[in-house]
Amino acid sequence: MRFFTLPLLALAGLAAAQNKATISLPQAGASIAPGEVFDFQYNTMADYGISSYNFTVWLFTSEFPSSFAPTQNFADGHFFGRYALPNYPGNPYPTNLPPPTLTMPNFDKSPGGFGAGLAEANQNCTLVVMEEYATGVGSFGLRFALAATSIIYNATSA
Ligand SMILES: *[C@@H]1O[C@H](CO)[C@@H](O)[C@H](O)[C@H]1NC(C)=O
Ligand SMILES: *[C@@H]1O[C@H](CO)[C@@H](O)[C@H](O)[C@H]1NC(C)=O
Ligand SMILES: *[C@@H]1O[C@H](CO)[C@@H](O)[C@H](O)[C@H]1NC(C)=O
């Protein structure tokens, strides 16, 4: 038994290290219906020697931007929120824990006022997380990690 458990533990540690700055839920390619409550799980950069602070969660319903050049039509989508996961000693007791689920907006509905919604089917959208973290190597501001997972909005066939 001893010969098997040690390598397995080592593998588990390796998997955790490789998972940094990744979205494990929803899974890539998941179909999410308008209004659906879906599981959300993000793995932060936190590790020995790395502190994680806040991360913001976004959905891009337009093509994932390839440029940050200022423009009035940068992208379409939705901002879910700014969250943090506990990590010692950088942010041990965050009060803004990520919810275990997020709710996909129904983009066909008006967001209010002049805003008009739009019905869409089978749209390739990108769930994006931008995380603020820092290491013992000085950085000019916090470091940003960017994670992205593509999902399908309002798939009409399973
Ligand atoms: C993290 O986000 C929360 C909620 O927006 C904010 O109150 C807090 O000041 C932020 N913490 C850091 C370290 O940026
Ligand atoms: C989802 O797709 C169906 C089929 O095209 C469409 O009738 C419906 O309006 C769409 N829903 C939303 C919220 O866009
Ligand atoms: C969605 O877009 C991503 C990123 O461009 C691509 O990798 C993926 O194949 C696309 N999926 C579908 C179903 O079009």
Domain residue ranges in the chain: 19-153
Amino acid, res. 99: P
Q: pLDDT of the chain along its 158 residues, tens only? A: 444 444 444 444 455 567 999 999 999 999 999 999 999 999 999 999 999 999 999 999 999 888 999 999 999 999 999 999 999 999 999 999 999 999 999 999 999 999 999 999 999 999 999 999 999 999 999 999 999 999 999 999 86
82-116: pLDDT as tens digits:
999 999 999 999 999 999 999 999 999 999 999 99
**pTM (predicted TM-score):** 0.88
Q: Is 150 in the pocket of ligand 3 (CB under 6 A)?
A: yes
- What confidence score (pLDDT) does residue 5 get? 46
Closest listed ligand to the CA of 131: 1
CB 78 within 8 A of CB 58: yes
Give the number of the atom of ligand 1 that is nearest the alpha carbon of residue 132: 14
Q: How many CB atoms lie within 10 A of CB 25?
A: 15
Span 19-153: which CATH code? Answer: 2.60.40
Q: Is 123 in the pocket of ligand 3 (CB under 6 A)?
A: no
